[in-house]
Structure 1
């Protein structure tokens, strides 16, 4: 049975497009049940509609507070009955009360090697810190900003002469396959979240799964 995905995105939706393309190509056993955004002008919603999928803007400014917005957003998500919620460039914090009932059913992709450089402007911060390695992480979502258990990572070198734009572009080429491969593992039932952390193939993982540039996970 295909993994039912709900996608949250605030921007251009490149990760959503990669998911849709993989499903169409038959390389990801999943279906996207809809896309949701906190911005009415998000390109991700256009991509979803172009693919014939439900696409909704649920804007925070239309609600009295974050709790009311979260309630409306996740009420709509629940109606679509997803197996997994994918935050793919979703830029809002989500309340702990909403997340508590969805532990292990919500993931996020973040452009750094967590726990390093949580939050925004990760590429410039990596350069400012003199990092020699950077990358992306997929993690379970918790109430702590970018602090949930990490499932998988892809690493890239920081090269001499890099600026934030060049480093961002290099990370992005690894970010997309990282997300897809993680979704394949979840769809196959090989990755699950337990009270003591991420389990892979029934055993507690020693650390994040690592994705090299030219291979899929072994």
Structure 2
């Protein structure tokens, strides 16, 4: 059984989908803990599912590296096989990425390498493209530059707002995340051999 720690900053809709999937006895992964960089709404999902959680508030530390060291200590306490960034809106310092890679993955609401960064949906709309997408990647030291594990296109409709488009991308992100975690657990996805597209 793959041991997973999920890190969030917000509502945790991807986290909830993964927790629901983990209830299936056939699913080969289990969320052992949920962490956050603030008092995130999504921590309530962990409580509902009886999953332990921890918070390492970014604002409590004098530097990103200091915060990262504490976050890493909190993660490693759970001895995870995989760490999932699920809406963690903070870039992990290199010491954390180096310690966890390649068993550190992230979801992103765009078809990478298109529209990396914190505003993937807004940037796609601003660019006037007819399609964007969702991706699951291995986290590396860049911003959304790691090897792509799975991705899928999502059309941009003429009347899309940022919220509307994001709401259509989210279910695709969730499905890709669940499939990738399953693939890592059953060995059909090898993180060390992840390819870039």
Tell me whether the two structures share a fold, i.e. TM-score over 0.5.
yes
User: Any residues of structure 2 matched to 1:36-185 within 5 Å, and which?
Assistant: 36-40=35-39, 42-185=40-183
**Alpha carbons 1:35, 1:44 under 8 Å: kept:** no
Q: Aligned-pair distance for 1:193? A: 2.9
Alpha-carbon shift at residue 15 of structure 1 (Å):
0.8
Q: How many residues are matched?
A: 197
Map Cα deviations across residues 95-125 of structure 1 (whole Å, 9 max, x no partner).
1122112221100001001111111222221
- Give the stretch that moved more between structures: 121-130 or 15-24: 121-130
- In terms of Rg, which structure is larger? 1
Structure having the larger proportion of residues in helix:
2
Q: Which runs of 5+ in 1 are unaligned?
A: 199-204, 208-218
| Shift in Å, 1:206 | 7.2
Q: In the TM superposition, what is the alpha-carbon distance from 1:129 to its structure 2 partner?
A: 0.7
Cα offset for 1:159?
1.6
User: Per the alignment, in what secondary structure is the counterpart of residue 186 of structure 1?
Assistant: helix
Give per-residue Cα distances to partners, 1:44-99, cap 9 Å, x unaligned. 21110121111111101111211111111111111110000000000111111221
- By relative contact order (CA 8 Å, sep 6+), the higher-ranking structure is 2
* Unmatched tracts of structure 2, length 5 or more: none
Q: CA RMSD in A?
A: 1.4
TM-score (norm 1): 0.86
Q: Which runs of 4+ in 1 moved over 2 A?
A: 25-28
Determine the C-alpha separation between the residues in 2 that align with 1:19 and 1:43: 16
Distance (Å, rounded) in 2 between the aligned partners of 1:86 and 1:105: 8
With the length of structure 2 as denominator, give the TM-score of the two structures: 0.95
Q: How far apart, in 1, do the equivalents of 2:196 and 2:141 lie?
A: 23
